[in-house]
Amino acid sequence: MAFAESQNPLRVRRIPQSRYIDAVRWLSPVSPSDRFAAIAYFDAETNSPSIEIAYVDPNPQSSSPTLTLQSSWTSPSRISSLKTAHSTPQPLLAAATFSGSLHILASDLINGGVMESEATVSELGFHSGPVSAVDLREGGTECVSVGEDGRVNLVSFVGDSSNLSYRRIFDAKGLVGYTAVKWASPSEFATGGYGFGIQWWDQRTPGGPVLQFKGNWCQGKTSGIVHSIDIHPSRKHTCLAGGSSGTVFAWDRRAAQQPIVLSGAETGEAPNSLLSESEVWEVQYDRYTRRSNISNISSTRILPVMICSEDGILAVIEQGEEPLELLAEPCAINSFDIDQQNPSNVICSLEWESLAILTRS
Amino acid sequence: MPGVSSDSARGALVPLSPESPGAAVYPLRHGLKSPISRLSISWSRGNSLRVSLFAAPSSDGSVNDGDGGKVVEVKLGGGDGEISEAHWRRIAYGSVSPFALLQSRKNAVFSLSKMSMTSSPYDGDWWDYIMEYSKDINALLVNQKSASVPVLDDPKSVITKGEEPTSLKAAWELLEMFYAEKPSHSWLPERLVDWLADYDSLFSGTHPTVHSKLVDFQKELVNLQVVEDDPKYWEVVSSALAVGWLNIVVKMLRLHGSYRLDQLSNRETENGLVEAVAVLISKMPRMRLEQEAGKLGECYKAKPDFVKAWEKWRGQINKLDSSAFWFQCAHQQTREGLRSMLQIMLGNANSLCSATYNWIELYISHFLYMRPLTVGLESMYSLAQKSIQLKPMASAHRLMGLIIGILGENTEVVLAECLKGFGPWMVAHAIELLTAGSDHAEMLLHEERQNLGGISIEELHRLVYAQVLSSFPLTWQIAPIYLMSCMKHGMVLLQILLSKQPVQDNQLLLKSIEICRLYELHSVTSNIMKIAGVHHWKHGRKGSGVFWLQQARDEYRLNRIALQLFDSVGKTISDESFKQWEGLIQLLGSDSKTAGGLEFLHKYRDFKKSLRQIHNGKATDSARQAVESLISLMKNPSTPQRFWLPLLYDSLKLLNWKERPLLNVSQTNLLLNKLQELSMARLRPDFFESELPPQALNSVRLALGTNLGRAILEE
């Protein structure tokens, strides 16, 4: 396994937070020099969940504190999923909770980052039980939420109403549970769930998923849950998914039911390519690459992928190559986010109540 | 709790002292107006109690605000005022890796020594490992609030404020210097001098200290024009000298008025004397390994060199003391002050005693000026006893108790002081240092004790610490590391801990399962999965429930829930709800072993699919497939009887296929037999009547009869 330190310099700053971190995201900046992050905290001592906006000092060498709190919003329940989207004039946040509500927040980054709740859906019947995943469409007018209750809801907002309306796209009545969701285009999105299954939805074709990927390629040995999905804007035919047993795979919708396994216990490849055997909590395409342009990579090849796992690994996987390990922590890495504007910056949340900020150069 | 000993009369593992201090009464604000009729107390998370108060119903039957009841959480013991809860957790997280590393190294060293049959397993790299462990832990105890370092050196600032010291760090450093540093006790006195310089301020809260006097004087210094006229100045300088803070002493001496340019000419002798004392102080010989850059004093590593320098230095002091220049010094305070300083340097017992404020300071001053060559814990202990006699204390600071325990070479006292003063974290981690070099301590702490239920003291304290970790939702995940280092009860307690974790949230559930995987606790894994499966099933998340039960390979429960599922299948697998079922059926997979009785659903789906394709007009091929599915369903023993009639009724179209009979004779006979069986079963009381039109049975029978005729003709 390759270690990053030997190949390219990597600066890691670990910042203890004294609170559990449920989720962490970069906020798209208003000006190029800004770096803001949204962090979903849970204070176990007082039992209070909150979302806070913090200014991140971009200079790793500076002596000033790395994180400076800008504003805070108290959530009615713990955050189960947090997404951010670029939007004018302010970046938007979508936060889903364990009590089954959804909150759209806007943060005024120019005037001290004051965060306001723009809108909330918390009525009974939106979701029964926790919302397991939410995704905000780029541009920020629509939001899709899924839960283990089998409901897929589409929330649209125009900005002035404080109570959102939502539309039920599908209700599997608990027969199927969804654990991950990601927009692919203004009308299409993908969901993931139990048994490594992925569903492809198109709002233009209502009544259920358009395509389903059966996750039974493990031949009944062990199956798992998809925790996270990513779709690259230039490769909409491919869904990237990460889940149980260190499994990271891609499903090319054009190639029916055969997955492209990037990492995982069931690959049957040489054991040294096994990056992790535990849960892969999050996957994202890694836009930070020193290689030539993405367009030069053949369209059948999977683009570089960053993953984080329960056994404390943060790594970049490229198809057919040794994975590049960026962090190997003694505790779980529960979530991470790559800065879209400056992909050399990565922020991740660690199980032991701390954040780590990586700067690749 | 760790296992209870067979002797139930003395069954308590952590003995409660009967002479505990009198009960304290704390008022509880609950805001209930009516009198309380009932009270219930239970443990909440961590150190909190949940007190539920039920108010008595008001007598006149009216309902007022504040009636009913209230639940209040009461946090017990504010913890250590010095270290916040969050900081404790940070220490707990940070100590996991050093602890685990040391355990694995210990195991490696131990198994190596078993192989090579050498007498002592602990040599070579052993002390490096221990020291590395101690340093790693020590680094965690640094207070996070970083001190601001002044850019400009203020000449009037005699005492600099570094990081806020904590008793915990002070205690750990004591243990480190006595147990972890490769035993070379000749440096110990000087190490203690440094230790007091760092931590003297900790005693200020309960005892008068040199540090607090210095801080007080620092405040007055700003307003003082002529320092040497102030008796306090000389007092403070002598005290600082007595405990060996040479840099501070020299800096303070240089504040003396005779250094001022306008006075230098008429106070020449006086200035010469002050400077002579300052130079002597800065040349004090110290017997130590190394000296921090910028610190005054000259250090000697070898004893003979030191003794020579020490004698020479004392000779110089004596010479200065008896010099004639003192008579030419006009300023009385300066003369007396300087000469009393010389007495301290010469080791005058009375001067030392009056310059120090508590026994530890006195003790340190003895090391510095009277017995710099003290070696061995025994003589250090007797010197400590003597100091305590000279400066008895009303109340003991927790660090003082620890020092006495260490010097007295009493492992039990040291452990007790650690537990009392610093809590279970300290004991669990300090034991590693205590047992590092002492065979006696190792035997004492590793011996299995009957009164502890057959476990050793070491295991007991690890178990206690693991319990503390387990009680808090954020730290329970690190408890397994400590439990696994407990030979006797660790595994069982780990299984209990894992089985108690909540299963509602997938993320937490998977974290528990991951720990099971690490320690190969497969039975616990499948138990947790079963619990999760049933939980999800009960809450209507059928898909999640089936998934977890499948993962647990729980045939029994899968079959049971299959029966429940069938109830709803008969009603709801209609064309419009097909998509909802599709996902669940897909999850079941084609492998019937993990699907239990649910295998039926899979086949039923195939059957329905081909039937639908007939409706869509794809004629004979689909019809043939449908017939095959129908026959295999009817043949399969896992198909519940109650589905026979609905299946056949659904297939009426196949039975009455226009072009040619789709079922051959034997197939038709099979179906007819099933139908007969069904008619018989209808007479039984437990028969499950399907919601089909009453003529269904007859129309199926008719269709089968017709088909049989056509099939015979064809053959």
| Residue B145 confidence (pLDDT) | 53
- Residue B219: the pLDDT is 86
CB of B86 less than 8 A from some CB of A: yes
pLDDT tens digits for B276-295? 999 999 999 988 877 777 78
Q: Minimal CA–CA distance to A17: which of A62, A66, A57?
A: A66
Task: Tell me which of B21-30, B70-79, B239-248, B431-440 is least confident.
Answer: B21-30
Q: What is the pLDDT of residues B650-666, one digit of tens each?
A: 788 788 877 777 788 88
Whether B540 and chain A come into contact, CB under 8 Å, resolves to yes
> Closest-CA residue in chain B for A64?
B146
Q: B298-300 and B285-287 as β-strands: parallel, antiparallel, unpaired?
A: parallel
pLDDT exceeds cutoff 80 at B114:
no
The pair of structure tokens assigned to B509 is: 């559930």
Residue B561: both structure tokens together:
């829930």
Determine the distance in angstroms separating the CA of B562 from the nearest CA of chain A, rounded to an integer: 13
Q: Cβ contact (<8 Å) for B536 and A19?
A: no
Q: For B97, which of A132, A173, A330 is closest by C-beta distance?
A: A330
Distance from the Cα of A62 to chain B's closest Cα (Å) equals 15
Share of chain A above pLDDT 90, in %: 40
What pLDDT, in 10s, does the model give residues B496-506? Answer: 999 988 888 88
Instruction: Give pLDDT, residue B5.
Output: 39
Rounded distance between C-alpha atoms, residue B245 and residue B252, angstroms: 11
* Mode of pairing for the β-strands spanning B48-55 and A36-43: unpaired
**Length of chain A as a residue count:** 361
Q: B697, B649 in Cβ contact below 8 A?
A: no
The 10s digit of each residue's pLDDT in B336-378 is 999 999 999 999 999 999 999 999 999 999 999 998 888 888 8
Least Cα separation, residue A186 to chain B (angstroms): 23
Q: Which of A180-194, B2-16, B111-125, B321-335 is least confident? A: B2-16
* Distances B75 to B18, B29, B78, B424, B538 between C-alpha atoms, Å: 24, 13, 7, 18, 34
Judged by a CB distance cut-off of 8 A, whether residue B473 touches chain A is yes
Task: Check residue A161 and give its pLDDT.
Answer: 55
Cβ pair B579:A130 closer than 8 A: no
In this structure, are residues A316 and A3 in contact, taking their beta carbons and an 8 Å threshold? Answer: no
Cβ of B584 within 8 Å of Cβ of A176? The answer is yes
CA–CA distance from A214 to each of A199, A200, A231, B458 (Å)?
9, 12, 18, 52
Contacts with B586 from chain A: Cβ below 8 Å: 195, 197, 212, 214, 216
Q: Do A150 and B551 touch (CB under 8 A)?
A: no
Instruction: Report CA-CA distances (Å) from B243 to A318, B246, B290, B694.
Output: 63, 9, 19, 105
Q: List strand residue ranges (DSSP E) for B446-592, in order.
A: none
- Quickly list DSSP for A315-334: EEE-TTS--EEEEE-SS-EE
pLDDT of residue A6: 47
Rounded to a whole number of angstroms, the CA Rg of chain B reads: 42
**Rounded-to-integer distance, Cα B261 and Cα B270, Å:** 14
Kindly provide the ipTM of the predicted complex, given to two decimals.
0.91
- Taking an 8 Å cut-off on Cβ atoms, the answer to whether B544 and A98 are in contact is no
CB A133 within 8 A of CB A180: yes
With CA atoms as reference, the chain A residue closest to B549 would be A223
Residue type, A44: A
Q: Which of A98, A214, A330 sits opposite B586 (nearest CB)?
A: A214
CB pairs under 8 A between A and B: 128
Q: Do B550 and A223 touch (CB under 8 A)?
A: yes
Residue of A nearest to B44 (CA): A45
pLDDT at B57 over 60: yes
* Percent of chain A at pLDDT exceeding 70: 86
List, as ranges, residues 575-604 from B with C-beta within 8 Å of A: 579-584, 586-587, 589-591, 593-594
Q: Do A278 and B97 touch (CB under 8 A)?
A: no
**Residue-level pLDDT at A5:** 46
Q: Which residue of A has its CA nearest to B579?
A: A208
Q: What is the DSSP letter of B180?
A: I
- Using DSSP's 3-state secondary structure scheme, residue B122 falls into coil
Q: Which of A176, A223, A311 sits opposite B543 (nearest CB)?
A: A176
Chain B residues whose CB is inside 8 A of the A199 CB are 583
Q: Which of A18, A177, A332 sits opposite B544 (nearest CB)?
A: A177
Q: Cβ of A172 and B583 within 8 Å? A: yes
Instruction: Please report the pLDDT score of residue B94 as a whole number.
Output: 94
The pLDDT of residue A334 is above 50: yes
Position B570 scores a pLDDT of 60
pLDDT in tens, B76-100: 765 567 788 888 899 999 999 999 9
The 10 Å CB-count burial string (b at 16+, else e) for B66-83 is eeebeeeeeeeeeebeeb
Q: Which of B91, B136, B529, B587 to mutate to test the interface with A (most CBs of A within 10 A)?
A: B587
Confidence of residue B646 (pLDDT cuts 50, 70, 90): confident
Kindly indicate the confidence band of residue B11, based on its pLDDT and cuts at 50, 70 and 90.
very low
Beta bridge partners, B300, equal B287
Q: Is B458 or A301 the better-scoring residue by pLDDT?
A: B458
From A21's Cα to the closest Cα of chain B, the distance in A is: 11
Provide the phi-psi class of B294: left if phi over 0, else alpha when psi is between -120 and 50, else beta: left
Q: Give the pLDDT confidence of A75-122 residue by residue, as tens digits.
A: 999 999 999 988 777 888 999 999 999 998 888 877 766 777 778 888
B541 contacts in chain A (CB < 8 Å): 129, 148-150, 174, 177
Task: Give which of B97, B505, B506 to mutate to test A binding, by max A Cβ within 10 Å.
Answer: B506
Higher-confidence residue: B671 or B438?
A: B671
Which residues, at least 6 apart from B429, have a Cβ–Cβ distance to it below 8 Å? B95, B99, B137
Nearest to A44 among B473, B539, B584 (CB): B473
Q: Which of A69-83, B201-215, B279-293, B577-591 is predicted least confidently?
A: B577-591
**Global model pTM greater than 0.90:** no
Q: Which residue out of A176, A200, A210, A310 would a mutagenesis test of the B interface target, given it has the greatest number of B Cβ atoms within 10 Å? A: A176
Q: How does the average pLDDT of chain A come out, rounded?
A: 84
Tens digits of per-residue pLDDT, A186-245? 899 999 998 888 999 998 988 888 888 876 655 555 678 999 999 998 888 899 999 988
Q: What angle do CA A155, A193, A147 make, to 5 degrees?
A: 35
Q: Does B45 touch chain A (CB under 8 A)?
A: yes
Using the Cβ of B258 and the Cβ atoms of chain A, whether some distance falls under 8 Å is answered with no
When mean pLDDT is compared across A7-16, A45-54, B63-72, B485-494, the lowest value belongs to: B63-72
| Cβ <8 Å between B583 and A175 | yes
Higher pLDDT, B642 or B269: B269
Q: In degrees, to the nearest 5, what angle opens at C-alpha A227 toward C-alphas A224 and A233? A: 125
Using a pLDDT cut of 70, give the percent of chain B over it. Answer: 84
Q: What average pLDDT score do residues B520-530 get?
A: 93
Check CB contact under 8 Å for B589 and A45.
no
Question: Are B584 and A175 an interchain contact pair (Cβ–Cβ within 8 Å)?
Answer: yes
The b-or-e profile of B254-270 (16+ CB within 10 A means b, else e) is: ebbbbeeeeeeeebebb
Mean pLDDT along residues B544-551: 89
pLDDT confidence tier of residue B238, bands split at 50, 70 and 90: very high
Give the CA distances from residue A39 to residues A353, B471, B600, B667, in Å, rounded to whole numbers and listed in that order: 12, 26, 47, 66
Question: Is the pLDDT reported for residue A291 higher than 60?
Answer: no
CB atoms within 10 A of CB B702: 14
Q: Which of B527, B496, B491, B492 is nearest to B509 (CA)?
A: B527
Q: How far is B92 from chain A (nearest CA, A)?
A: 9
pLDDT at B126 over 50: yes
Interface contact flag, A44 B45, Cβ < 8 Å: yes
- A330: pLDDT strictly greater than 90: yes
pLDDT tens digit string along B367-417?
999 988 888 888 899 999 999 999 887 777 889 999 999 999 889 999 999
- Pick the more confident residue, B313 or B693: B313
Which pLDDT tens digit goes with each residue over A151-174? 999 998 765 555 677 889 888 888
In a 13 Å sphere around the CA of B539, the CA atoms on its Cβ side amount to: 19
pLDDT at B472 over 50: yes
Distance CA B88, CA B469 (A): 11
Mean of the per-residue pLDDT values of chain B: 82
Q: Between these two residues, B81 and B670, which has the higher pLDDT value?
A: B670
What pLDDT is recorded for position A78? 94
* pLDDT value of residue B275: 92
The C-alpha atoms of residue A284 and residue A348 are separated, in whole angstroms, by: 12
* AA letter at B193: V
Q: Tell which wins on pLDDT, B379 or A64.
A: B379
- Which helix (H) or strand (E) element contains residue A173? none
Q: What sign for the dihedral angle of Cα B553, B559, B565, B566? A: positive
pLDDT band at B150, cuts 50/70/90? very low
**Cβ contact (<8 Å) for B543 and A19?**
no
- What are φ and ψ of residue B58, in 5° steps? -65, 145
| Segment B15-36, tens digit of pLDDT | 445 555 556 667 777 777 777 7
**pLDDT score of B147 more than 50:** no
Mean pLDDT calculated for residue range B597-624: 73
**How much of chain B, in percent, has pLDDT values that exceed 90?**
32
From chain B, pick out residues whose CB is under 8 angstroms from the CB of A350.
none
Task: Among A42, A194, A226, A282, pick the best mutation site for testing chain B contact (most B Cβ within 10 A).
Answer: A194
Q: Show residues of chain A in contact with B510, CB under 8 Å.
A: 225, 244, 279, 310
Tell me which DSSP letter residue B669 carries.
H
Under 8 Å between Cβ of A61 and A114: no
Distances (CA, A) of B705 to A356, B577, B655, B675, B701: 76, 33, 9, 11, 6
Residue with tokens 């919003």: A73
- The answer to whether residue B553 neighbours chain A at the CB level (below 8 Å) is no
